[in-house]
Every structure is written in C-alpha cells, then in structure tokens.
C-alpha cells in the first residue's frame, strides 16, 4: 500500500518528465506491475515509470506525442525480451559500478534541473544542463512568489518526513528490552506517515488547490485537467494519423521508428540496468537470474503498451519503500496495481487541483538521493583509477546526450581492460641454481594474447640480450594464449637458438602448450619439474 501511495504522485511526475499527458503515468503503473507478480524473480522490484527511463523516453521521442511513447514501450519490451532469449544478460556486466553511479547521478541532476522551473514558476529554455541553468538564472526575476514558497515548504517537509522512515519497527529495541504496545503502534504510525509522505503531501496541497480554486483565486500553478477512467485496451500504434492544418497525414511505422533512432536500443538497456541494479542491491547473498528479469521486464513492457503506457522498469526509489515495508514475495505488486486502478477510476477528477510545485517537489525529493556523492570516498580509498570512468561518465552525461555519455563511460572502462590485457606485468630476476649457476627468470603475470605479445617479446629480447645468461620463462600464471602468442614464441625460440642461448619454458599449462605446439617451433623446451630445470641449467653451463 505504501508503494501504491508513492507511485501515484511519482507516476504523474514521471509522465511530466517524459513529456506525455499526465494520465499516461498512471496507465504505466498497473498492468505491468500485476504481470510482474507471475513472472518476475525479485520480490523488491516495483514495476512502473522510473526517473532514468522517463528521461530517456523524452530524449528519444522529444515532443512527438504519446503515440511515440506507447510504440517505444512496445519496442522496448520486444528488445528486452529478445535480449533475454539470446542470453545477452551478460551485457549488463560491462557497465561497472562507477559508470552506473556517474550515469545515475547525472540523470538525477538533469531531472532536478528540469523541475526547478516548475518549482519557481518561471519560463526556462534550453535542453543541455548548462544552458538550462543559465536560463534559470536569467529568468529568476520572473519567480512566482507563491509557487516558490509552496515548493520550498513541500521539499522541506518531504526531506524532514523522510527521516521518519528509518524508525525501527521491531518489537524489541536495541537494548533487547521489549517495547510497549503503545510504543510499537506509535512508531508504526510515524513510519507509515513518513513512508507515504508523497501521497499525504499531494492530498494536502491538492485540497489547498481545490480551496483556492473554489474561491476563484489560485495563487499557484495547478497541473490542470487529467482525464479519468481506465485506458482503452488497444494495439500499440504502429502508425497513426496526424492533423497538419486542414490535412490529415498518415505517419507509418518506419517513419516513427527512424524518428526514435538509437533510443530503441538505449531505452531497453538502461531500463534493464536499473532493474538489475535493484535485484543486486537486495539479493542478500542469493544469486540473481538476470535472464529471467530480462524476459519479465520485456513482457511487462509489451503488455503495458496495450494500455497506452510509456516505457517502464523497476524503480530504485520505490524498491527501497517496498523492501523496507517488508515485502516477502512479488505478490505485493497486487496492492500497488489495485490502488492505481482505483485511483484511475475514482480519484482522477481531484488530480487537476494538485499544484505543479508540489509535483516538482515530489520529484526533486526522490532524485536528490540518486546523486551518489557518497561512493567517491570508498572509491578513492579502494582504487583511485576507478574514479576516472565514474567522473568521466558523470561529466559526459551532463555535457553530451545521455546515451553518448554512458557509451563513452563504458568505453573508457573497457579501455582499462584492454590496456591491462596489452601490458602485463613482467618480473625479471637474476637467480642462481643450487650449484651456483646464474640464470634469468622472467615471469609474466597474465595470459599472452595479441595486444601484449610484441611487448613481451621486446622485453624478453632486451633483457636476454643484455645479459648473456640462460633464460627461464615461468609460465605458471599464463592461463591462456592465442595464435599471435604462438607465432611470437616460435620467433623467440628461433632467435635464442641462433644466439646459442638457452630458453626454457617452465611450468607451462597443457592447454597453452597445445597452442604453442601448433606451430611446431624448433628448440622449444618445456620443463615442469624444478629439479630437471636445475639439472638442465647446469649441463647447459658446462656446454658453454
């Protein structure tokens, strides 16, 4: 029920983020939510409109109208479903924690920025982050006094009430003392008030709006008429008729799809990213079935598109509400879905009196905690280099289109992996056998594959030419190799034998040996036993 009370104001607000009529937010919040009960794998995923997906929907369909949003929901679901069937869930693994944090923080800031205009009641232009803020500062003198006051009061109360959601509810307090019934019920009541703070605030402000409306003088901007009733069940619009002046133009599927462009791939992936993040966060030592989630979210989005919804996913902010309300199975979606249906049938006429500033406050209070400043400190202490993709993604997402921003972030991160593959650490030591014979021990610390083989060859050649000693390459850590590595090994053995220098491969894994043997290199000496190695080095020095 708390989730249901949260989702109603949030879904109106997210619909405004997606730039579709507000009732579409409610349409998005019930059918998928009910279907998820049967096919979802996580008890903590509240399916419905979310900040990231709503923003990306807007970026994809721009101002083209709700038909595009509904079609996008269908395409998003279809893409997610196909990705699930193809087993592409591993793709999510390539978005690292730092990149996801940077992206989420940027989304939060962008949404926050987009709400400031409603909060202050000023006209704002510009879509890029910096543009919007400069426009806000230019127009700040247009601020509507009562909108700003209402907005500030709303945000303050939401943030204050939020503290209450952390009240412990167990029957026994910290010191193990059993609490009184009065105490228990009191804290439960406070917790409930706090958790459904969005709904309570909206009801109070809505009543205020109604009161002033009846008096004929509303000091703040209201959201206006929201059509009531359940949406019609119909096939998603694979083409629609549009009025241009007096003419009616038919816009086909191909044209609609090409307008949406890369969004058809980006929206599904980001939706899944958010969803899997929730599953992971609340997994508590259980394994997650990502493929199942891909299929479930896909089906929910497809079903949703038949009731005029825009794309949706599991919402991070509501998942916390759901989890801490004590969800046990995905069945809690039943309550959420039912409450939304009831709201659509009975309460929509009241929604018109909700002030815009209140809705903006609901959003701001929800997204402000998505700005993940708190991860910087542990990241700094753990691995400073990981701040680069994190901050890179954050800045890129603010300065560039969001999908390019996250793409860049993932790209930077993958470069780290490639660089690692290209530049193994190689230890070179001059050792003595028991019998006092000097030799060079060269130990690469990871697998030998094409980007690194020339580097390794150059290093081995350099060190072995400098000191004319027998060379032992310790292959204990080489767990794999490819054809390029085999070529280089062949060249190395030939080089060494033409220099009359001994080269021994020590402790080579059989699978790697098979790769090297494929080129049948001459003078290729592999030793597994330490004693034989010592013996070989001794007899070699006798020959020299």
Q: Which residues bind a second copy (CB under 8 A)?
A: 90, 93-94, 96-98, 280, 284-288, 378-383, 385-386, 413-414, 416-418, 420-422, 425, 445-447, 449-452, 454-455, 458, 461-462, 465, 477, 479-484, 486-487, 491, 494-496, 498-499, 515-519
Min dist CB 392 to a second copy, Å, is: 14
Residue nearer to a second copy on the CB measure, 241 or 523 = 523
Min dist CB 404 to a second copy, Å, is: 18
- Nearest of 328, 325, 318 to residue 53 by alpha carbon: 318
Min dist CB 75 to a second copy, Å, is: 25
Estimate to the nearest angstrom the gap between the alpha carbon of 254 and the chain centroid: 29
Residue nearer to a second copy on the CB measure, 30 or 103 = 103
List beta partners, residue 473: 442, 505
Residue nearer to a second copy on the CB measure, 82 or 422 = 422
Min dist CB 419 to a second copy, Å, is: 9
Min dist CB 470 to a second copy, Å, is: 16
Q: What is the three-class DSSP state of 402? A: helix
Element (H, E) at 314: strand 313-314
Eight-state DSSP code of residue 371: S
CA of 444: how far to CAs of 306, 463, 519, in Å? 58, 13, 21
Q: What is the C-alpha to C-alpha distance for residues 264 and 44, in angstroms, rounded to an integer?
A: 26
Contact 461, 495 (CB under 8 A): yes
Residue nearer to a second copy on the CB measure, 133 or 455 = 455
Q: What is the C-alpha to C-alpha distance for residues 263 and 507, in angstroms, rounded to an integer?
A: 51
Residue nearer to a second copy on the CB measure, 89 or 115 = 89
Q: What is the C-alpha to C-alpha distance for residues 231 and 27, in angstroms, rounded to an integer?
A: 7
Min dist CB 379 to a second copy, Å, is: 5
Min dist CB 516 to a second copy, Å, is: 7
Contacts of 141 (CB under 8 A, 6+ apart): none
Min dist CB 5 to a second copy, Å, is: 31
Contact 54, 379 (CB under 8 A): no
Contact 302, 74 (CB under 8 A): yes
Q: What is the C-alpha to C-alpha distance for residues 143 and 146, in angstroms, rounded to an integer?
A: 9
Residue nearer to a second copy on the CB measure, 378 or 436 = 378
Residue nearer to a second copy on the CB measure, 61 or 460 = 460
Residue nearer to a second copy on the CB measure, 276 or 341 = 276
């Amino acid at each position: 029920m708390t989730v249901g009370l949260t989702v109603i104001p949030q879904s109106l607000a997210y619909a405004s983020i997606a730039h579709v009529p507000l009732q579409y937010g409610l349409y998005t919040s019930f059918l998928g939510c009910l279907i998820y009960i049967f096919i979802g794998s996580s008890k903590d995923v509240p399916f419905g409109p979310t900040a990231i997906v709503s923003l990306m929907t807007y970026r994809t369909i721009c101002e083209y109208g709700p038909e595009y949003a509904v079609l996008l929901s269908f395409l998003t679901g279809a893409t997610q479903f196909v990705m699930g069937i193809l087993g592409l869930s591993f793709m999510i693994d390539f978005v690292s924690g730092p990149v996801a944090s940077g992206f989420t923080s940027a989304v939060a800031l962008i949404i926050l920025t987009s709400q400031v205009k409603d909060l202050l009641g000023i006209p704002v232009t510009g879509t890029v982050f910096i543009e919007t803020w400069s426009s806000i500062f230019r127009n700040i003198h247009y601020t509507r006094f009562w909108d700003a006051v209402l907005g500030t009061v709303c945000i303050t109360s939401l943030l204050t009430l939020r503290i209450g959601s952390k009240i412990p509810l167990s029957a026994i307090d910290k010191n193990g003392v059993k609490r009184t019934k009065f105490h228990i019920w009191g804290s439960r009541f406070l917790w409930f008030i706090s958790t459904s703070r969005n709904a309570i605030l909206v009801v109070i402000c809505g009543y205020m709006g109604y009161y002033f409306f009846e008096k004929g003088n509303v000091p703040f901007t209201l959201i206006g008429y929201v059509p009531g009733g359940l949406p019609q069940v119909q096939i998603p619009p694979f083409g629609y008729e549009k009025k241009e002046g007096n003419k009616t133009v038919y816009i086909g599927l191909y044209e609609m799809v090409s307008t949406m462009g890369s969004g058809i791939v980006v929206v599904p992936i980001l939706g899944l990213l958010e969803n899997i993040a929730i599953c992971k966060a609340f997994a508590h030592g259980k394994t997650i079935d990502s493929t199942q989630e891909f299929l479930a979210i896909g089906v929910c989005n497809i079903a949703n598109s038949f009731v005029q919804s825009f794309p949706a996913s599991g919402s991070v902010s509501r998942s916390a509400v759901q989890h801490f309300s004590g969800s046990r199975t995905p069945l809690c979606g039943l309550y959420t879905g039912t409450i939304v249906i009831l709201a659509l049938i009975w309460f929509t006429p009241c929604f018109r009196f909700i002030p815009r500033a209140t809705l903006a406050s609901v959003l701001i209070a929800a997204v402000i905690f998505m700005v993940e400043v708190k991860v910087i400190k542990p990241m700094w202490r753990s691995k400073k280099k990981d701040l680069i993709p994190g901050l890179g993604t954050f800045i890129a997402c603010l300065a560039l289109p969001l999908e390019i921003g996250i793409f860049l972030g993932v790209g930077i991160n993958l470069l780290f992996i490639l660089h690692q593959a290209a530049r193994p650490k190689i230890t070179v030591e001059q050792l003595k056998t028991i019998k006092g014979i000097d030799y060079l021990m060269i130990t690469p610390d990871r697998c030998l594959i094409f980007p690194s083989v020339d580097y390794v060859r150059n290093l081995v050649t350099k060190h072995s030419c400098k000191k004319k000693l027998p060379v032992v390459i310790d292959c204990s850590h080489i767990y794999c190799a490819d054809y390029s590595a085999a070529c280089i090994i062949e060249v190395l053995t030939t080089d060494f034998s033409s220099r009359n220098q001994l080269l021994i491969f020590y402790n080579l894994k059989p699978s790697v040996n098979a790769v090297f043997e494929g080129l049948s290199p001459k003078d290729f000496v592999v030793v597994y036993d330490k004693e034989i190695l010592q013996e070989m080095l001794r007899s070699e020095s006798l020959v020299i």
